[in-house]
Amino acid sequence: MSWLETAIDRIIFGERRHELRPFPYFSILAVLLLVIFPLGYAAFTGHIWEDFFITYKFSENLAQGKGLVFGNDLRVHGFTSPIGTLLPAISHLASASSSYEPAIWIYRTAFCIPAYVLACICLLRIVSLSPQSDKLSVILAFALFLFEGKSLIFSVNGMETSFMLLAISLCFYSVCNFKSSSSFLIGFSWSLLMWTRPDGFIFIGAVLLGFVLCNLTDFRPPFIRKIVASSAICAVLYLPWTLWTWHYYGSPIPHTIAAKGLNLQNQNLIDTILSTLSKLPYCLSWTFAPPYPHFGGWPGPLIFSCGIIGGICAFLWILLDLGKTSRSASLAFLFSAFYIAFMRFPYPWYFPPLALLGIIAICSGKTGDAITRFFGIRSPLLSHCIPLAAFLLSLFILPNIVRQIYYQQKIVENGNRMEIGKWLKSNMKSDESLYLECLGYIGYFSGSSHVFDYPGLASPRVVQIRAAGADNFADVAEKLMPDWIVARPQELDQLAGKKKINDHYRIKHVFDAGRNLESMPEIYGKPYLLYDSKFSILKKEKDSPNDKPD
């Protein structure tokens, strides 16, 4: 095994492998744990994220020769990640099965986990190249990455997060070491970001701007020429997807962006700025926090402590005596946090790249020592206090996230939303339409080809109705008048205020997992599970010429 250890050590530590290797076989143990942790999490929880089934419907249709469509042959760009759609299609073909389960396991093991491992290796390479790092810096960077809850769960639950982590780490490494990095490596990392998410250019800009502002002396013609060459390589590598989607869908911009960004079009610049600033503290707090902490059920001091760590990551760049790697990562973290705060809602799968930049920022130098010097305190014992504190938080958060998601998958997803989809498949006619918000599980397992979702991720008609002035779930339902509606309690309350809905719809079935949730052990984050615990299914009973869909 010595040759393998030497090879991995050389990749991670470079010329500093004898100086920074914490202990013998550290690299091999690190790779093993990076494989075992996500595999163990996926096997124990069986977790598949709601949005995976939206994307997988496109993947499945593509693999079956029906085209990259959600249903009913309607060409709508209703997914976000190109790589997160194409690789599951390959996995579906490789599984030679009509079931989603073999496909997602192939997707996890053949694509997602290798990307997750490579992302951490790249992270350790970045930390080891920092002159201010030591053995403890490397250990803490590895431990923080391994125990960062959202990075772990979203890397194997069907989302594109592991590729985002790999692309961000490779982008940061190649830019911050541009003198030794080729233009192709930089351009490739940028194109990987774009293939992972179409808003990848935002993170490219955040990393690039963070580096430039902290390394102004390097901003010279050779650097500019390399950046121009890298941009051209990125454009060439991403151009085929752009041209194909333009031809196939009529636009290279995903329809999901139009659906999610519709609310922003109605805001003026001042309101947008104020909204972004008001959400920034939440983004900093949620970076290392559990998913959806705003639902409650987590200790307040825990979320506050996560906010402190996030705030430190965002403003380390003001410490001029800190290393350039830490300061560049801190600025990139802050710029990325502003982008996430700009969104309508800061969804949890956006935070792992932010957490990765934060780990680089606090582990690439003795940040605790730099902060204490800033306040006139000298204590070598505090050198690594910031990443150590973040790691202690993650030690508490990760196992409790695993418990939370285990029960969510068992009771809410498999026991409720999946069953709703199967019930609809047995009771809906093939030509009947369905309207709902949670398109993933219910939409996929219903097998319906006529699905309208709110806010219209895969439904151009819904976006048109919203653009014409429909403000909420019920307004859209009144305009659509579909055959079936699936609604949560709060959505049902909205529908109750609509005369056309009251006149023509009756509740046919109620799925309520609340009793099962009440009987389960007490866990942290339980209110999040309650949000999707109850759904009512409404069926249109009668119609008249005056009540046709608008």
pLDDT digits (tens, 9 = 90+) for 396-413: 999 999 999 999 999 999
Alpha-carbon gap, residue 224 to 230, rounded angstroms: 10
Burial class (CB in 10 A: 0-12, 13-18, 19+), 331: buried
Alpha-carbon gap, residue 507 to 518, rounded angstroms: 24
Overall pTM > 0.85: yes
Phi, psi of 208 (to 5 degrees): -65, -45
Helix (H) or strand (E) holding 278: helix 269-286
- For strands 534-540 and 484-487, give the pairing: antiparallel
Ordered per-residue pLDDT tens for the chain, 550 residues: 577 778 878 888 877 777 888 888 889 999 999 999 999 999 999 999 999 999 999 999 999 999 999 887 789 999 999 999 999 999 999 998 888 999 999 999 999 999 999 999 999 999 998 888 888 999 999 999 999 999 999 999 999 999 999 999 999 999 988 888 899 999 999 999 999 999 999 999 999 999 999 887 777 888 889 999 999 999 999 999 999 999 999 999 999 888 887 666 666 778 788 888 888 999 999 999 999 999 999 999 999 999 999 999 999 999 877 888 999 999 999 999 999 998 877 889 999 999 999 999 999 877 776 776 666 666 666 778 899 999 999 999 999 999 999 999 999 999 999 999 999 999 999 889 999 999 999 999 999 889 999 999 989 999 999 988 888 999 999 999 999 999 999 999 999 989 999 999 999 999 999 888 988 888 999 999 999 999 999 999 865 444 554 4
- Measured CA to CA in angstroms, residue 437 lies from 135, 158, 279, 323, 535 at distances of 49, 19, 24, 47, 11
The domain limits of the chain are 2-253+269-383, 404-547
Alpha-carbon gap, residue 348 to 120, rounded angstroms: 20
Q: Vertex 310, ends 353 and 523: CA angle to 5°?
A: 85
- For strands 505-512 and 451-453, give the pairing: unpaired
Alpha-carbon gap, residue 72 to 50, rounded angstroms: 21
Query: Does residue 301 have a cis peptide bond before it, meaning omega lies within 30 degrees of 0?
Result: no
Chain center to CA of 477: 29
In this structure, which amino acid lies at residue 229? A
